[in-house]
């Protein structure tokens, strides 16, 4: 466990991708089975402990210390596992019992194997005894591990790349065998070290690394020929890859993946189930996950209701029905289509979607254009250019070369995304709250408002919250402003001085505006972020609610 904890600790401070790879490859080389296999499982998110939830960790510390001291500590540190790791053994935190260090050093394997057998009631006792025997780094690593949120800047893909380097194979070779093997991956390491053959099980539903688009610079148009490109809407949803096949017994295997290759099947069982009923034996589609209700794509906020849920209830499924809006087909039957030109793949996709007759699948329509002016007009007004009722969910247009093959990564040239210009308003900072994670201990979550006239006169009404769009230096400066201009504190929230004669103005950029009954202002912004900090602008000159109301889509 010490070595694994040390690895996580060093990964968390290592800024460079290559540095992280070197640390991991070195760890896999120096560490024995099955320890390293469990480490790989942890890094790829393949371990899940049924009973070990953040609530269990919270309960453990709650039994041992004053709740107010805990709350203040957590507020400062901003990360539950780290807070508990740091608190363990402090004055005011009840010690379990003097550590009888007769035990051999704790191993990662012991933790994983013990937890997989343990019942819910054993968890607290086990955790406490392990925490007693570990140092601060060890406690932090243990708690990160069991709550399943390592957050050391390593994706599953990067961990697999590190393992691939061990055997000098390609990361895609690891992907190929990945779903046929399980922790602690003994056959994988045996193969990589030349002690055994490549694990034979071919995954019937593998992840295929996604192809990404680069942002379009409008200057690019001079060098591009509109006839070489096909246009599509850029949807304001979540990129999703569905990969389906059959196991040797003929049973359906279907998996959903994020664009980074994290499996998300469990989060969207309704969609997986519906897509699994498509008759074709094997296929892999690339598309956008959307909530479609009554034939209309819902705003991103609706999709957010489906994210990060512990359980997917029937109510959730019926209120937020999911659909995959496909824009590419990368495999069909035994055929790998990634080498075919996009135009040909598009024809295959149209046929596939038409044959599938699945209510959970549709095709992303093309945007027709002969010259860049027409495309620019479509981007500016998607509703008039064919997006119709779904125009509110369009965040721009995509341009794909007709001859582009499907290349993993973000190659320069074949695909471009051209986002719509965001909306901008000037608003006044009203409340600030401490951030979490990287920004803990800084006031980094800002609620801002615009002017309106009420019976009491001019007042600011909150219209949104933003927590990005500024540099670390700007954050430090805003943080100082918040601390120096706090007029009241409510728990973690500070009221920052705001009024006609005082206040800090933010230029807020956002992607769109919806009516909202939940907000006092009656409007809700999509993706608000801070475009500029207007240290120079008097608060009285910030925008008024009427300006926002004029931006609302017609009812």
Partner 1 sequence: MTQKTGAADVLTVTANGLYCPAGDFHIDPARRVANALITHGHSDHARPGHQKVLATRQTLEIMRLRLGDHFADASQQIAYREPLAIGDARVTFFPAGHVLGSAQILIEANGRRVVVSGDYKRAHDPTCESFEPVRCDAFVTEATFGLPVFRHPPTSQEIGRLLQSMQLFPERAHVVGAYSLGKAQRMLALIAEAGWDRPVFIHGALDKITELYRSEGAPLCDTRKIAAADKKKLAGEIVLCPPSAISSDLWLRNFPEPRIGFASGWMRVRARARQRGVELPLVVSDHADWNELCATIADTGCSEVWVTHGAEDALVHWARMRGLAAKPLHLLGFGDEDEADAVQDAQETTS
Task: Using the minimum distance from each CB to partner 1, give the nearer residue, 465 or 477.
Answer: 477
Q: Which of 145, 171, 151 is nearest to 41 (CA)?
A: 145
Q: Cα 314 to chain center, whole Å?
A: 24
The answer to whether 525 touches 513, Cβ cutoff 8 Å, is yes
234, 315, 417, 465: the active-site residue: 234
Stretch in the footprint of partner 1 (CB under 8 A) among 12-20, 202-210, 409-417, 447-455 = 12-20
DSSP annotation string for 140-168: HHHHHHHHT---SS--HHHHHHHHHHHHT
- Min CB(82)–partner 1 separation in Å: 6
Strand partners, 460: 451
Q: What does the alpha-carbon distance between residue 274 and residue 304 come to, in Å, rounded to a whole number?
A: 20
**3-state SS class at 385:** helix
Task: Using the minimum distance from each CB to partner 1, give the nearer residue, 135 or 381.
Answer: 135
- Min CB(386)–partner 1 separation in Å: 46
> What part of residues 290-309 is at the interface with partner 1 (CB under 8 A)?
none
* 490 lines the binding site for partner 1 (CB under 8 A): no
Q: Residue 529 class from Cβ within 10 Å (0-12 exposed, 13-18 middle, 19+ buried)?
A: middle
**3-state SS class at 392:** helix
**432: region left, alpha or beta (phi > 0 left; psi from -120 to 50 alpha):** beta
The answer to whether 259 touches 209, Cβ cutoff 8 Å, is no
Task: Using the minimum distance from each CB to partner 1, give the nearer residue, 75 or 459.
Answer: 75
- Min CB(442)–partner 1 separation in Å: 7
- Min CB(11)–partner 1 separation in Å: 11
Q: Which of 339, 321, 319 is nearest to 330 (CA)?
A: 339
- Min CB(13)–partner 1 separation in Å: 5
Residue with tokens 């801070």: 530
Q: What does the alpha-carbon distance between residue 324 and residue 338 come to, in Å, rounded to a whole number?
A: 20
The answer to whether 43 touches 150, Cβ cutoff 8 Å, is yes
Task: Using the minimum distance from each CB to partner 1, give the nearer residue, 348 or 436.
Answer: 436
> What part of residues 316-335 is at the interface with partner 1 (CB under 8 A)?
none
Task: Using the minimum distance from each CB to partner 1, give the nearer residue, 90 or 351.
Answer: 90
What is the DSSP-derived secondary structure letter of residue 54?
H
Residues touching partner 1, count (CB under 8 A):
31
Q: In this structure, are strands 523-526 and 512-515 parallel, antiparallel, or unpaired? A: antiparallel
Q: What does the alpha-carbon distance between residue 513 and residue 525 come to, in Å, rounded to a whole number?
A: 5
Stretch in the footprint of partner 1 (CB under 8 A) among 64-72, 248-256, 355-363, 388-396 = 64-72
Q: Cα 47 to chain center, whole Å?
A: 19
Q: What does the alpha-carbon distance between residue 442 and residue 439 come to, in Å, rounded to a whole number?
A: 6
> What part of residues 426-445 is at the interface with partner 1 (CB under 8 A)?
437-442
Stretch in the footprint of partner 1 (CB under 8 A) among 60-68, 154-162, 406-414, 527-535 = 60-68
Both tokens assigned to 26: 């070195």
Task: Using the minimum distance from each CB to partner 1, give the nearer residue, 420 or 439.
Answer: 439
Out of 1, 11, 12, 187, name the contact with partner 1 by CB under 8 A: 12
Out of 7, 14, 158, 511, name the contact with partner 1 by CB under 8 A: 14
- Min CB(44)–partner 1 separation in Å: 22
- Min CB(440)–partner 1 separation in Å: 4
Contacts 24+ apart (CB under 8 A), 547-552: 547/425, 547/450, 548/425, 548/450, 548/463, 548/513, 548/521, 548/523, 549/522, 549/523, 551/423, 551/513, 552/513, 552/514, 552/515, 552/523
Out of 87, 146, 181, 216, name the contact with partner 1 by CB under 8 A: 87
> What part of residues 67-86 is at the interface with partner 1 (CB under 8 A)?
68-69, 72-73, 76-79, 82-83, 86
Query: Any catalytic annotation for residue 400?
Result: no
Stretch in the footprint of partner 1 (CB under 8 A) among 10-18, 168-176, 198-206, 297-305 = 10-18
Binding mask 461-480 for partner 1 (x = CB under 8 A): -----------x--------
Task: Using the minimum distance from each CB to partner 1, give the nearer residue, 93 or 495.
Answer: 93
- Min CB(52)–partner 1 separation in Å: 21
Number of C-alpha atoms within 13 angstroms, CB side, residue 485?
A: 18
Q: Which of 30, 20, 43, 74 is nearest to 184 (CA)?
A: 43
Out of 29, 32, 48, 92, name the contact with partner 1 by CB under 8 A: 92
> What part of residues 120-149 is at the interface with partner 1 (CB under 8 A)?
136
Stretch in the footprint of partner 1 (CB under 8 A) among 6-14, 118-126, 299-307, 355-363 = 6-14
Task: Using the minimum distance from each CB to partner 1, give the nearer residue, 20 or 323.
Answer: 20
The answer to whether 127 touches 146, Cβ cutoff 8 Å, is yes
Task: Using the minimum distance from each CB to partner 1, give the nearer residue, 135 or 421.
Answer: 135
Task: Using the minimum distance from each CB to partner 1, give the nearer residue, 249 or 471.
Answer: 471
Active site residues: 234
Residues of this chain that interact with partner 1 (CB under 8 A) are: 12-15, 65-66, 68-69, 72-73, 76-79, 82-83, 86-87, 89-93, 136, 437-442, 472
């Amino acid at each position: 466990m010490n070595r694994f904890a040390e690895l996580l600790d060093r990964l968390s401070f290592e800024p460079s991708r290559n540095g992280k790879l070197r640390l991991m490859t070195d760890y896999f080389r120096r560490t024995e089975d099955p320890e390293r296999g469990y480490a790989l499982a942890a890094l790829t998110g393949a371990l899940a402990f049924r009973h070990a939830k953040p609530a269990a960790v919270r309960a453990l510390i709650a039994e041992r210390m004053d709740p107010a001291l805990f709350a203040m500590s957590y507020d400062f540190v901003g990360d539950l596992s780290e807070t508990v790791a740091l608190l363990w053994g402090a004055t005011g935190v009840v010690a379990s019992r003097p550590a009888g260090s007769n035990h051999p050093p704790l191993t990662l394997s012991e933790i994983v194997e013990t937890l997989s057998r343990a019942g819910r009631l054993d968890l607290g006792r086990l955790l406490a005894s392990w925490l007693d025997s570990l140092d601060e780094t060890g406690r932090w690593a243990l708690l990160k591990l069991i709550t399943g949120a390592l957050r050391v800047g390593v994706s599953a893909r990067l961990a697999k790349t590190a393992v691939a380097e061990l055997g000098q194979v390609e990361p895609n070779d690891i992907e190929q065998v990945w779903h046929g093997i399980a922790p602690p991956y003994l056959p994988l390491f045996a193969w990589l070290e030349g002690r055994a053959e490549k694990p034979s099980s071919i995954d019937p539903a593998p992840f295929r690394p996604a192809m990404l688009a680069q942002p379009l610079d409008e200057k690019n148009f001079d060098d591009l020929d509109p006839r070489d490109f096909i246009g599509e809407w850029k949807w304001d949803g979540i990129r999703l890859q569905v990969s389906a096949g059959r196991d040797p017994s003929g049973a359906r295997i279907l998996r959903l993946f994020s664009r980074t290759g994290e499996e998300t099947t469990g989060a969207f069982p309704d969609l997986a189930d519906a897509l699994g009923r498509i008759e074709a034996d094997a296929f892999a589609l690339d598309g956008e996950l959307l909530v479609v209700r009554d034939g209309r794509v819902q705003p991103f906020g609706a999709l957010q209701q489906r994210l990060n849920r512990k359980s997917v209830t029937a109510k959730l499924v019926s209120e937020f029905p999911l659909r995959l809006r496909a824009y590419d087909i990368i495999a069909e039957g035994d055929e790998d289509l990634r080498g075919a030109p996009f135009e040909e793949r598009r024809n295959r996709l149209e046929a596939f979607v038409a044959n599938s007759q699945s209510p959970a699948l549709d095709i992303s329509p093309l945007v027709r254009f002969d010259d860049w002016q027409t495309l620019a007009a479509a981007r500016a007004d998607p509703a008039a250019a064919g997006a119709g009722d779904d125009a509110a969910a369009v965040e721009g247009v995509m341009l794909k070369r007709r001859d582009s093959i499907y290349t993993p990564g973000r190659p320069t040239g074949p695909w471009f995304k051209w986002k719509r210009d965001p909306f901008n308003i000037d608003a006044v900072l009203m409340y600030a709250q401490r951030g979490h994670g990287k920004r803990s201990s800084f006031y980094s979550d800002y609620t801002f408002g615009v002017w309106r006239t009420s019976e009491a006169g001019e007042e600011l009404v909150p219209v949104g919250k933003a927590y990005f769009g500024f540099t670390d230096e700007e954050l430090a400066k805003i943080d100082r402003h918040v601390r120096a201009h706090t007029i009241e504190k409510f728990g973690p929230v500070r009221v920052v001085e705001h009024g006609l004669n005082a206040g800090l103005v933010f230029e807020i950029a956002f992607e769109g505006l919806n009516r909202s009954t939940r907000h006092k202002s009656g409007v809700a912004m999509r993706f608000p972020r801070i475009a500029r900090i207007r240290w120079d602008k008097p608060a009285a000159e910030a925008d008024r609610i009427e300006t926002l109301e004029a931006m609302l889509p017609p009812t």
